Amino acid sequence: MSQYRKMTRDERTMLNRALDRWGVFEIMKEKNFLIKQDDNVKKVCLVSDEQALLQQFCESGLVIGEMTKQFAPTLQGADLFFRSAGCNNLYVKVNENAEKLVLYGRDVMGDSIIDAPKTLSENVLVAIINSNREVIGLGRTRFGSDLVLQKGKITITTISDAGQYLRDEDDEKSAKMTRSR
């Protein structure tokens, strides 16, 4: 059973640093966050003021990330940060063909990137957005901003994507159909 608790001071500091990196610290600094402890996974949940006052509940809030050595946003967290901050410096915008590939879990080639900030560094977590500015995935840069647009090379490794939900749902249906035979 999962258990919710308040964040420790170190966890809140780690979260605040990540919120600052994503450009949403000022917007999120007064918000309430709880840690949902599931086995060894610490999920960070954004909760309302009313929920934060409750002593016990089964489920609550929007999971915006996980605490490991650093805070790692979920796809929902990155989407919230991107919409809240407008245009931050942790994104890459891809063309329509790359959008389809990302939604199937494929990595991003440099020549399919339409726009990327000039300040991107190597090995940085970024939101992958489409031409409508919707977050379709999370990725990690393989190169800095000067090389991220290289033609013919994979420059962003896709970590999670919006299509994963549908693939997981399809796998569940397939497993149920196999068991019922």
Residue 74: domain span: 3-84
Both tokens assigned to 99 = 């959008």
User: How much is the pLDDT for 49?
Assistant: 81
Q: Which of 84, 117, 132 is the last residue of a domain?
A: 84
- Asked if residue 180 is part of any domain, the answer here is no
Q: Which of 44, 60, 84 is the last residue of a domain?
A: 84
- Asked if residue 179 is part of any domain, the answer here is no
Are residues 57 and 127 located together in one domain of the fold? Answer: no
Are residues 38 and 98 located together in one domain of the fold? Answer: no
- Asked if residue 181 is part of any domain, the answer here is no
Residue 158 · residue 105 · CB < 8 Å: yes
Both tokens assigned to 177 = 């159909």
Q: For residue 137, give the nearest of 167, 99, 97 by alpha carbon.
A: 99
Are residues 15 and 60 located together in one domain of the fold? Answer: yes
Are residues 78 and 94 located together in one domain of the fold? Answer: no
pLDDT 10s digits, 113-158? 999 999 999 999 999 999 999 999 999 999 998 899 999 999 999 9
- Asked if residue 98 is part of any domain, the answer here is yes
CB-count burial class (<10 Å; 0-12, 13-18, 19+) for 114: middle
Q: Which of 23, 58, 84 is the last residue of a domain?
A: 84
CA distance 34 to 3: 10
* pTM exceeds 0.75, yes or no: yes
The domain total for the chain is 2
- Asked if residue 178 is part of any domain, the answer here is no
Q: For residue 129, give the nearest of 75, 181, 176, 61 by alpha carbon.
A: 75
Q: Which helix (H) or strand (E) holds 45?
A: strand 41-47
Rg of the chain (C-alpha set): 18
Look up the CATH number of the domain holding residue 143. 2.30.130.10
- Asked if residue 28 is part of any domain, the answer here is yes
pLDDT 10s digits, 10-54? 999 999 999 999 999 999 999 999 999 887 889 999 998 877 777
| Band of pLDDT at residue 56, cut at 50, 70 and 90 | low
Are residues 157 and 112 located together in one domain of the fold? Answer: yes
- Asked if residue 36 is part of any domain, the answer here is yes
User: How much is the pLDDT for 180?
Assistant: 58
Are residues 17 and 46 located together in one domain of the fold? Answer: yes
